[in-house]
Copies of this chain bind each other. A is one copy, B any other.
Amino acid sequence: MSSAELPKLPISPRIRKSPFFEATRRWGCQSYTVYNHMYLPVFYESPEVDFWHLVKNVTLWDVAVERQVEIKGRDAARLVQYMTPRDLSKMQVDQCRYVLLCEETGGIVNDPVLLKLADDCFWISLADSDVLLWAKGLAAAGGFDVHVSEPDVSPLQVQGPHSRDVVHDLFGHWVGELKYFRFRETELDGIPLIVSRTGWSNELGYEIFLCDGGRGDELWERIMAAGKPYGIRPGAPSTIRRIEAGLLSYGADMDLTVDPFELGLGRLVALDMESDCLSLPALKRIAAEGARREMVGLEIAGPAMPGNEHPWPVHGANGPVLGKVTSAVYSPRLEKNIALALLTKGAVAEGGTVSIEVPGGPRQATVVPFPFYDPQKEIVRAGAA
């Protein structure tokens, strides 16, 4: 469907507004979706124009929809470890970790970034599901001595090759030295913030967590002013860039019916951990039996096509359904249709071909490794050339 034909989205009091919402409208956001009961910008000029600006320059994203669940109190570390099979025993204060939250069956509840603010205080920076309610349920019925809340915290992302210049000019030298997946509390004109070297683009990038929702507009304009010399523009999470990078999207690529091993994320499951963890017994069984499915990369043949609105069925050479395409997009940089698909494990080897049911008839696709685009590899390749 072309963007002219997209349905209209009403602005309703039922759905929350980010502290940056008015700024995103003023700056020309044309399309929003809903994420964690809040409006999320989707594109400004067009998904493709926004993509090029992200990968060549620098962009500012309103991702306040990444709501934080704060777990605080004597049992905070114990409850967080109960929620994720990743071993957190060595996690340091000021450190971020990508974790999978898993339920009793091993199914994935959310794939957030976890921030450790203190030994007894964590933020879970969410993908799209009400982990607040899950954590409240676990804490209340399990007798954990914690306070579970959603604090007044709203992240922005500054993403793109010039992002370091922008945050350097805003915060000074230390931020350029910030290591990957580390954060620091700071302020700007008295606005309380946390700055982390994280993001959802696989470009150089930072997140700026606003800790006073009343000052969103001021912070947005301050960053835009600082970014002006570097050609900053408003942007949003880029489906093109995240699929190129093989970054997974909760709701599309995973949900409660998918386990970590199917995603190739077994490294996030500490099978030998002795701490109490809700999903670990099930995940041990799954590990012993072997995953049923695997996430693979696909290159889809033929002319440029729109991304998938629904999962697309994937068939093997002789017709049987092997699984589904979970996310697909045309990459204007690679000049290819690329996709992630969840297929029966071992059904097709790398280089093998499958057939995909897409609107307008079947298309051939080849199983390829992903990420589809890795800037590090490109640098190496350019250096060798």
- Chain A positions within 8 Å of B, measured between CB atoms, are 1, 3, 6-17, 29-34, 37, 42, 103-104, 109, 128-144, 239, 249-252, 256, 278, 307-311, 326-327
Q: Which 8 A-B pairs have the closest CB atoms?
A: A137-B137, A141-B142, A130-B130, A34-B34, A9-B9, A133-B134, A6-B8, A14-B251
When the two chains form the complex, which single residue of B10, B15, B109, B139 contacts A6, counting CB atoms closer than 8 Å? B10
A32, B9: Cβ atoms under 8 Å?
yes
Question: Contact: A103 with B309, CB < 8 Å?
Answer: no
Within the complex, the shortest CB–CB distance from A70 to chain B, in Å, comes to 14
Contact A9 to B12, CB < 8 A, known contacts A138-B141, A140-B104, A251-B37: no
Closest to A101 in B: B133
Beyond known contacts A8-B9, A8-B31: 16 more, CB 8 A cutoff:
A3-B8, A6-B8, A7-B9, A7-B31, A10-B33, A11-B309, A13-B307, A14-B128, A15-B34, A33-B34, A130-B133, A133-B133, A137-B139, A138-B141, A140-B142, A141-B142
CA–CA, A1 to B32, complex, Å?
15
Q: How far is the CA of A42 from the CA of B252 in the complex (A)?
A: 23
B37 touches A9 (CB 8 A): no
Question: Interface residues of A: mostly helix, strand, loop or mixed?
Answer: loop
- Give A144 to B138 CA distance when docked, in angstroms: 12
Contact yes or no, A8 B7, CB < 8 A: yes
Can you pick out 27 interface pairs between chain A and chain B where the beta carbons lie within 8 Å of each other? Answer: A1-B11, A3-B10, A6-B8, A7-B8, A7-B29, A7-B32, A8-B30, A8-B31, A10-B42, A12-B239, A12-B252, A14-B33, A14-B251, A14-B252, A15-B34, A15-B251, A33-B34, A37-B128, A37-B251, A103-B136, A130-B130, A132-B256, A133-B134, A133-B137, A137-B141, A141-B278, A142-B142
- Complex Cα gap A13–B250 (Å): 10
B37 touches A12 (CB 8 A): no
Enumerate chain B residues within 8 angstroms of A29, measured Cβ to Cβ: 7
| Whole-angstrom CA separation of A250 from B143 in the bound complex | 28
Question: Complex Cα distance A308/B10, Å?
Answer: 11
CB-nearest residue of chain B relative to A34?
Answer: B34
Roughly how many angstroms separate A129 CA and B136 CA in the complex, as a whole number?
13
Q: In the docked arrangement, what's the CA distance between A220 and B143, Å?
A: 46
CA distance in complex: A264, B102 (Å)? 38
